[in-house]
Structure 1
Amino acid sequence: MAKTKIAVAIAILALFQVSCAAARRHGKPAHGDHDGDGTPAVMTVNGFKRGEDGGGAASCDGRFHSDDDLIVALSSRWYAGGKRCGKAIRITAESGRTVRARVVDECDSHGGCRNNIVDSSRAVWKALGLHTDVGEVHVTWSDA
C-alpha cells in the first residue's frame, strides 16, 4: 500500500514537471514579462546624442544615437549584463498604445538609476503620444 502511494506521488510529480516545461515552451511569459501583460516600469526621457543628458556613448555599441531612433536604456537588472543589447522590447503606455524599441544602453542601477527604469529616446515618447515635459510615466514592457 505504501509503495503504491509513493508511486502515485512520483507519477503526479513527474506529470507536473512535464506540464510546467511544456508551458514554458509554449508562450508563457519570458523573463521581463509579468503576468503576461508586461513588467511594470517607470519610463524616463533620455538623450542619446553626444553632449545630451545620457552621458557617454551607449554601452551596447559604443556609439551615440539620434533622438529620432526608437531606443532605450534599461535598468541594470533588466539590461542583464548586456544580454538584451540590440534586442527589441515592446513598451505599452497606460493609454494602451505600444511601440517597439531597441535596447542600446544600460541605466546603471549602481550609479543612481532606479531598478525599474526604461530610459527612452524622445522618439519613443512621441510614438506613444506622450509629452517629454512630464519627465516620468508608468508603462509596462516585455521582450518583443
Structure 2
Amino acid sequence: APHHHPGGHHGGGTPAVMTVNGFRRGESDGHFHSDGELIVALSTEWFARGRRCHRRIRITSARHGRTVEARVVDECDSRRGCRHNIVDSSPAVWRALGLDTDVGEVPVTWSDP
C-alpha cells in the first residue's frame, strides 16, 4: 500500500516528467517485473551509473500532491531517446497516484525518501 506521510515535507523534490513503462520483458535489471510492482527507471544522470539502482525514491504528483514510493530498477537511457528529466514508471505507480496511464506523461517531483 502507498505510504501516506501526514504533513510530509513538500518541496525539496526534483521536478520531472513521469512516463509509462511496462517492465514485463525483463530487460531492466535482468529480473522479470510485473506491472503490479512499484518500480521506475530514471534518466541517465539521476540513475547515477547505478548508484540509485534498487534504492527507493518518493514520487509526488504535481497535480494533487499524492505520494508513492517506488524502487529504481533501470536506467532510462538518454542516448536512446529518453529525455533527461524522465521518471519512467510502471502502471502500478500511476495507479497508486490515482493517475490514468492513458495520459502518457504527467508532471511529478521526486526525492530520496
Give the TM-score of the pair, scaled to structure 2. 0.87
Structure number having the greater strand percentage: 2
Report how far residue 64 of structure 1 moved. 2.1
Partner of 2:98: 129
Q: Which amino acid aligns with 1:57?
A: E
Distance, in Å, in 1 between the alignment partners of 2:97 and 2:59 is 9
**Whose relative contact order is higher, 1 or 2, with alpha carbons under 8 Å and at least 6 apart?**
2
Aligned mate of 2:33, from 45, 56, 65? 65
For the pair shown, the structure with the greater C-alpha radius of gyration is 1
Total equivalences in the alignment: 103
Q: Which runs of 5+ in 2 are unaligned?
A: 1-10
Report which of the two has the higher share of helix. 1
| 1:104 matched to 2:73 | yes
Instruction: Give the corresponding residue for 2:112.
Output: 143
User: Which portions of structure 1, spanning 4 or more consecutive aligned residues, are displaced by more than 4 angstroms?
Assistant: none
Which AA in structure 2 matches 1:105? D
CA distance in 1, matches of 2:96, 2:24: 19
Which residues in structure 2 correspond to 1:21-40 (within 5 Å)? Answer: 36-40=11-15
- Output the CA distance in 2 between the equivalents of 1:139 and 1:64: 26
* RMSD value, Cα: 1.3
Percent of aligned pairs with the same residue? 74
